[in-house]
Amino acid sequence: RWEEEKAADGVKWTQLEHRGPYFAPLYEPLPEGVRFYYDGNPLKLSLATEEIATFYAKMLNHEYTTKEIFQKNFFHDWRKEMTSEEQEIIQDLDKCDFSEIHKYFVDQSEARKALPKEEKQKLKEEADKIQEEYGYCILDGHREKIGNFKTEPPGLFRGRGNHPKMGMLKKRIMPEDVVINCSRDSKIPEPPEGHKWKEVRFDNTVTWLASWTENIQNTLKYIMLNPSSKLKGEKDWQKYEVARRLKDVVHKIRAQYRADWKSKEMKKRQRAVALYFIDKLALRAGNEKEEGETADTVGCCSLRVEHIKLHPELDGQEHVVEFDFLGKDSIRYYNKVSVEKLVFKNLQRFVKNKDPTDDLFDKLNTNFLNKHLQNLMDGLTAKVFRTYNASITLQEQLKALTNPEDNIGGKLLSYNRANRAVAVLCNHQRTVPKTFAKSMEILQAKIDAKKKQVEEAQQEVKKAEDEFEDTKDAKAEVNVEKKKKLLKRLEEQLARLEVQATDKEENKQIALGTSKLNYLDPRISIAWCKKFGVPIEKIYNKTQREKFAWAIAMANEDFEF
């Protein structure tokens, strides 16, 4: 399936038929008894204003609504949608009371959870029916699953990190915003009654089925095929094959950029130092900001003088560069790295006589860098370096950390530690989950209870052994074995719980998923599972196993990246 004949260059399909997107349901007004209050008095809101008020009310217990920038953006966008009468009255967010609306949605959520089994089944059947109708397309005669066939409902933009646009209003997507892509001879999807599509295209050089522009970042959003589809799988496989090709030339590339540290051309020196950072620290190239994004985020090529501090010596290490900047999604990158002497000297030259807001690599941009990378190897970009370094790191860490004698729990801890090394390299952070302390408390209570059981079982074994010593009775001997087996089982359970606690603690601020799904060749993990007898489902859930079906079919236990 993965190696079928490919179509002519650029052509992705010859037949594509689908139903178009499934639109978010329209707003249902609040019941009469659920009210919004302004300055202590109930205030009946117009429908559009009320809908936006519910977006904020639903998030009342979330950290976002405590942030000043979120509140400011929300209030600004909300007032734009109000009637002139409402604008006259509602002038201050602090005087707005959303608590009744918030309670209503919390109660609704609890009621849904408490529904009887039959009701839940009915809801599931309705969802399955929608999935069946909208969730599949016909692509070159195959019925393929679509990834995200629903448009995102309206709401408040959250963003990652401290995004400057958080709290802004994400508008409802209408059929008039949507471009449909299908084959000319297919049944063109019908727009909802009373509406029409923005445009219908027949472009077989792209793999998306529908697209629209969202209003916050002004970026295009697409409905694509599911990751388990043949087209997506092939693209994924090719991505890792390009990264594997880098393995054969990376030594030559490293020798080249090292030589360029001494180049007579300042432009070449800057490119060589930037490439060293991309290679050694898995930094993103930079200059790839989405249009309309106002966050002050940077990558390697767009670093400014203020983003680094140079320490000839720090914490017992020489030539230390201290990085501190906001990377993609406004996630802070902070790192102290001991670099090679020539890199340090070059950086001293690059910052000389510059203001803090000047570019560190003022002679460099991503186009110039990527053109150079393309000359070094066909298909090479900064992202390929990231994929290569992430995959190689995982493979090396797994070799170093896995103990074949460990039980499955111990092996999984080693796997997560190897994955964590990659997540740290790629700066994949997350905030500590709100439920972390509570779930750790529950886990600790389980550990304490299990320890108690182990102690009791140890006493039972001792008692049984003493009894056998006294009587030399066969029955007493069987009892000793029985008690020992129980003790062993309890000790294994305790060890599993302790491994779980260690893993949880080490993972609390690291997001393992991003690297696992986007930067790590899945064949490395699958080969490891096969070699060490770990079930693949312990590493990849059902959806992920579908996404990586190509890798499961290809990799045997001695696969090397």
Active site residues: 519
Alpha-carbon distance values, 42 to 89, 90, 96 (Å): 12, 12, 10
Task: Report d(CA 346, CA 342) in Å as an integer.
Answer: 6
- Helix (H) or strand (E) holding 417, with range, is helix 408-425
Rounded (to 5) percent helix, strand, coil in the chain: 50, 10, 35
What is the Cα–Cα distance from 382 to 275, expressed in whole angstroms?
8
Residue corresponding to tokens 């700066």: 427
Q: How far apart are CA 514 and CA 361, in angstroms?
A: 29
Contacts by 459-464, CB closer than 8 A, 24 or more apart: 460/486, 460/487, 461/487
Give the residue ranges of DSSP H helices in 170-284.
Answer: 230-260, 266-281
Q: What are phi and psi of 103, to 5 degrees?
A: -60, -40
Please count the other Cβ atoms lying within 10 Å of the Cβ belonging to residue 373. 23
**Phi, psi torsion values for 115, nearest 5 degrees:** -60, 145
Whole-angstrom distance, CA of residue 52 vs CA of residue 168: 11
Contacts of 165 (CB under 8 A, 6+ apart): 73, 157, 159, 216, 217, 293, 294, 295
Q: Report the alpha-carbon distance of residue 394 to residue 386 in Å, rounded.
A: 12
Per-position DSSP letters for 112-160, written without gaps between them: HHT--HHHHHHHHHHHHHHHHHHSEEEETTEEEEBS--BPPPPEE---S
Question: CB under 8 Å to 518, separation ≥6 — which residues?
Answer: none
Enumerate residues 6+ apart whose C-beta is below 8 A from 484. Answer: 461
State the Cα–Cα distance between residues 240 and 250, nearest whole angstrom.
Answer: 15
CA angle 65, 68, 71 (to 5 degrees): 55
Q: How far apart are CA 561 and CA 240, in angstroms?
A: 9
CA distance 513 to 57: 30
β-pair partners for 16: 139
Say if CB 213 and CB 220 are below 8 A apart: yes
Using CA atoms, how far apart are residues 145 and 230, in angstroms rounded to an integer? Answer: 10
